[in-house]
Amino acid sequence: MPEGPEIRRVATRIHKVLAGREAQKVVFTQPGVAGFGPKLSGQQVEWVSSRGKALLTRFNGGLTIYSHNQLYGRWYITRRDKPPRTNRTLRLGIYTETHSALLYSASDIEVHTPESLPEQKYLARLGPDALDDRVVWQDVLQRLQDKRFSGRSLAALYLDQGFVAGIGNYLRSEILFNSRVNPFDRPKDLARRQLGALARNTLSLTRQAYATAGVTNTPGRVKRLQAKGLSRRRYRHLVFDRPEEPCYRCDDTVKRIEVSGRRIYLCTTCQPSLRAALAKELS
């Protein structure tokens, strides 16, 4: 599933071709929203943005299209009347005089008024968006110290969109590694300096992923690895998708573990478990 940075990059691209232009034709293929096609056709698109992993398209009549890609949805941006070659099912098409923004395979599409949009069930439960420029690291620190979140394992917490919106599987591993914290520790187990590092990395790595199309490794290391001819997959991340490879910090081996069917990558040397160490002391 695309994470917040990927959805925001798609939203930015769609905004460039739709914003300020008339949507000459809007087509929904799902029965529940099909009736909004004629209502939105002929209106001007005001903006396209994202919130967490959802994409929002606002029209000057006041209505907003909410869409969530889920696992299989995909947006295509094409010249008008030049559909992409795909076997996917079209769910939403927005057509201007020159371009088309086409959403295929997604099933979660709704249309909302300004009053109903904040109450949309996914949006209503989101925490602060890591890509929102108004969010600062102190906001994340406050949530890490909040009793609602401080007693949960970091592995679970960093996939909870109610904690911070936009973070998914690869960002979770990268943020925890760069902060030198263990996935099975809890915020309340950490020292304040660790919480501060975690809060800062939560924002900086998510925003780096947006700026670099998902590359979370350090810029200098990326250049060195590219010079060696490594593929994007090999230079993209700090630990994610690097099982049994040497840690960039300590040269120990990167491990892959499964938690609730989702994979986490970590270096146990750089990310020692405080809870495990305490349990050992008490035994």
User: Which is catalytic among the residues 9, 51, 53, 207?
Assistant: 53
Tokens describing residue 157: 């917490």
Q: Which residues of 183-205 are buried (b: 16+ CB within 10 A; e: fewer)?
A: bbbbbebbeeebbbbbbbbbbeb
Pairing assessment for the beta strands 25-28 and 90-95 based on DSSP bridges: antiparallel
Beta strand extents in the chain (DSSP E only): 25-28, 45-51, 54-59, 64-68, 74-79, 90-95, 99-104, 108-112, 255-259, 262-266
- Is 174 assigned a catalytic role? no
* Alpha-carbon span 264 to 170, nearest angstrom: 8
Instruction: Check: CB of residue 110 under 8 Å from CB of residue 66.
Output: yes
**Pick from 84, 75, 73, 87: which is nearest to 18 by CA?**
75
Collapse the DSSP code of 93 into the 3-class scheme (helix H, G, I; strand E, B; otherwise coil) and give the result: strand
- Is 3 assigned a catalytic role? yes
* Alpha-carbon span 126 to 53, nearest angstrom: 10
* Alpha-carbon span 273 to 283, nearest angstrom: 16
- Is 183 assigned a catalytic role? no
- Is 221 assigned a catalytic role? no
Which residue has 């209503």 as its token pair? 124
CB-side neighbour CA atoms (13 Å) of 160? 15
User: Which is catalytic among the residues 3, 6, 110, 174?
Assistant: 3
Which residues are CB-neighbours of 79 under 8 A, at least 6 positions away? 98, 99, 100
User: Which is catalytic among the residues 74, 80, 88, 262?
Assistant: 262
Find the angle CA(149)-CA(152)-CA(154) to the nearest 5 degrees. Answer: 100
Question: Active-site residues: which are they?
Answer: 2-3, 53, 262
